[in-house]
Amino acid sequence: MRVFSRKRLKRTKVIIAPTYKVEQTLRGYKIENEIAVVPSGISLDQHKKRLAPEERSKRRNELGISDDKKVLINLGRLGNEKNIDELITFFAKACEKRDDLRFLIVGGGPAKEALEKHAEKLGVADKVIFTGMVPPTEVQNYYQLGDLFVGASTSETQGLTYVEASACGLPLLCRKDLCLMGVLFEGENGYEYTCEQEFLEYLDKIANSSEWRTAASKKGEEISELFDKTHFGDSVEALYNKSIK
């Protein structure tokens, strides 16, 4: 990859990288060209739609989640590289002190069966809900069933699910990673953790403050706008014009 990237990119005026993490990777390949970080544009229209409170409550109840529960949600492919077993482990630890938590895991993948067994082994199988694959048109509705989006992957190059979750109004609690630069602003729309203790402390802080969650929700929605496809188009067009001149 290093040889190929250097060979293909050596004549370029500007390289577009979707995140600072990708920029750092390219610098690690000894690529010295100018690199502009322009987040990949995604359509956020569907993620701006909101479920009516009655519909949200109904959908949660159908999954066995009562209105008084705080719901952690992770959405995406269930692969080992996503590190979801860590989230289940930390969730189980949190459940030792509080009974108002539920963990909604949306998606399918090769790690699903092992994760279900992991939850059972830790004694939280009744509090961890696996939905399996859901239709793309329903994704935004599942995000909105949660109160907090959690992620533990360090293999992401862009982390678009974090952007989608923010657009749906969810605060973030994620393992510290470069892909979160520009997406998660510490204490404003979420927190980054590096160990179990930090995860548990931040979870308590978020779960115990509805006022903070409301403010974080609005901040996340504002941040997500920077990743809208229209903003991406404008940014790339401006970059092209600058390069031409």
- Whether the Cβ atoms of residue 181 and residue 24 lie closer than 8 Å to each other: no
10, 13, 24, 232 from 35: Cα distances, Å = 12, 9, 10, 16
CATH fold of the domain at 45-226: Rossmann fold (3.40.50)
Query: In this model, does residue 176 exceed pLDDT 90?
Result: yes
CA neighbor of 175 nearest in space, from 198, 148, 208: 198
Which runs of consecutive H residues, i.e. helices, occur in 35-152?
53-62, 84-95, 112-121, 139-143
How many other β-carbons are positioned within 10 Å of the β-carbon of residue 234? Answer: 13
Point out which residues pair with 73 in neighbouring strands: 104, 149
pLDDT digits (tens, 9 = 90+) for 189-243: 999 999 999 999 999 999 999 999 999 999 999 999 989 999 899 999 999 999 9
Q: Identify the helix (H) or strand (E) that includes residue 20.
A: helix 20-28
169 Rama class: left (phi>0) / alpha (psi -120 to 50) / beta: left
pLDDT digits (tens, 9 = 90+) for 80-137: 999 999 999 999 999 999 999 999 999 999 999 999 999 999 999 999 999 999 999 9
Predicted pLDDT of residue 240: 94
Q: Which residue has the tokens 């909105």?
A: 144
Take residue 60 and report the two structure tokens written for it.
């949660």
Q: What residue ranges of the chain are covered by domains with CATH 3.40.50.2000?
A: 45-226
Which SS3 state, helix, strand or coil, does residue 196 take? helix
